[in-house]
A and B are shown apart, each in its own frame.
Chain A
Amino acid sequence: MSVLVWLVPIALGLGLTGLFAFLWSLRNNQYDDLEGAALRVLDDDDLVTPPARPSTEREA
Chain B
Amino acid sequence: MAETRDFSLFTRPRPDGGSQMEIAIEGINCGGCINRIENTVKHLPGVADARLNFTNRRLTIAWQDPRFEPGSAIDALGRMGYRAYPFAARNAEEEDAKQAKFLLRCLAVAGFAAMNIMLLSVSVWSGNVTDITPETRDLFHWLSALIALPAAAYAGRPFFMSAYRALAGRRTNMDVPISIGIILALGLSLAETITHAEHAYFDSAVMLIFFLLCGRYLDHAMRQKTRAVAGNLAALKAETAYRMLDSGELVQVPAAALEMGQCILVRAGERVAADGIVVSGRSSLDQSLITGETLPHKVGSGDTVYAGSINLEGTLTLRVTGAAENSLIDEIDRLLDKAVKARSRYVRLADRAAGYYAPVVHSAAALTFAGWMLAGAGFHTSILIAISVLIITCPCALALAIPAVQVVAAGKLFRSGIFLNAGDAIERLAEADTIVFDKTGTLTLPEPRVINAHIIDPDMTVAAARLALASRHPLAAALARHTDVTAPFDKAVEEPGRGVGATVDDRTMRLGSAEFCDIIGDPAFAEAERLGASTICFRWGERQAVFIVHQSLRPGAADAIAALAARGFDIHILSGDRPAAVAQIATALSVRNWQGGMTPAEKVAALEGMKAQGRRVLMVGDGINDAPSLAAAYVSMSPITAADLSQAQADAVFLGERLDPVIETVTAARKARRLMHQNLALAVIYNAIAVPLAVAGLVTPLIAALAMSGSSLLVTLNALRARSGGKAVTAIQPLESVARTA
Contacts and interface: CB of A to CB of B under 8 A. Distances in A.
B54 A57 contact: no
A15 B43 contact: no
B55 A36 contact: yes
Contacts of A35: 54-55
Interface in A2-43: 4, 8, 11-12, 15-16, 18-19, 22-23, 26, 31-36, 39-40, 42-43
A25 to B, nearest CB: 10
Contacts of A33: 53-56
B183 interface: no
Nearest to B143: A8
A23 B34 contact: no
A56 B43 contact: yes
B683 interface: no
Given A23-B105, A45-B35, A55-B79, A39 B43 contact: no
Nearest to A50: B39
B348 to A, nearest CB: 28
A34 B30 CA distance: 14
A36 B53 contact: yes
Q: Interface residue tally of chain B, by bracket?
A: 20 to 34
Given A23-B108, A55-B79, A36 B143 contact: no
Nearest to B56: A33
Interface in B554-572: none
Contact of B44 (A18, A19, A56): A56
Contacts of A42: 31
Max chain A C-beta neighbours (<10 A), residue from B43, B104, B133, B147: B43
12 contacts: A4-B136, A8-B143, A11-B116, A12-B147, A18-B112, A26-B101, A39-B31, A39-B54, A40-B31, A43-B31, A50-B39, A56-B76
Contacts of A48: none
B564 to A, nearest CB: 35
Nearest to B147: A12
Interface of A: 1, 4, 8, 11-12, 15-16, 18-19, 22-23, 26, 31-36, 39-40, 42-43, 45, 50, 53, 55-59
B55 A59 contact: no
Contact of B45 (A18, A26, A57): A57
Contacts of B35: 43, 45
Contacts of B80: 55
B54 A36 contact: yes
Nearest to B46: A59
The main secondary structure of chain A at its interface with chain B is helix
Contact of B105 (A26, A34, A40, A50): A26
B112 A32 contact: no
A57 B44 CA distance: 6
Contact of B34 (A34, A36, A50): A36
The main secondary structure of chain B at its interface with chain A is helix
Interface string B143-168: 10001000000000000000000000
Contacts of B44: 56-57
Contacts of A45: 35, 39
Contact of B43 (A19, A31, A34, A58): A58
A59 B40 CA distance: 12
Given A11-B119, A26-B104, A57-B45, 13 more contacts: A1-B136, A12-B147, A15-B115, A16-B112, A22-B108, A23-B105, A35-B55, A39-B34, A40-B31, A43-B31, A45-B39, A57-B44, A59-B45
B305 interface: no
Nearest to A51: B39
B52 interface: yes
Given A26-B104, A36-B34, A55-B79, A19 B54 contact: no
A32 B55 contact: yes
Contacts of B119: 11
A18 B56 CA distance: 28
Interface string B24-49: 00000011001100011001110000
A60 to B, nearest CB: 10
B475 interface: no
B109 interface: yes
Nearest to A12: B116
Contact of A56 (B40, B52, B54, B56): B40
Contacts of B54: 33, 35-36, 39
A4 to B, nearest CB: 7
B108 A19 contact: yes
B546 to A, nearest CB: 45
A19 B34 CA distance: 31
A59 B105 contact: no
A16 B116 CA distance: 10
B271 to A, nearest CB: 31
Contacts of A34: 55
A44 to B, nearest CB: 10
A40 B33 CA distance: 10
A31 B104 contact: yes
Nearest to B35: A43
Given A33-B55, A39-B34, A43-B35, A59 B108 contact: no
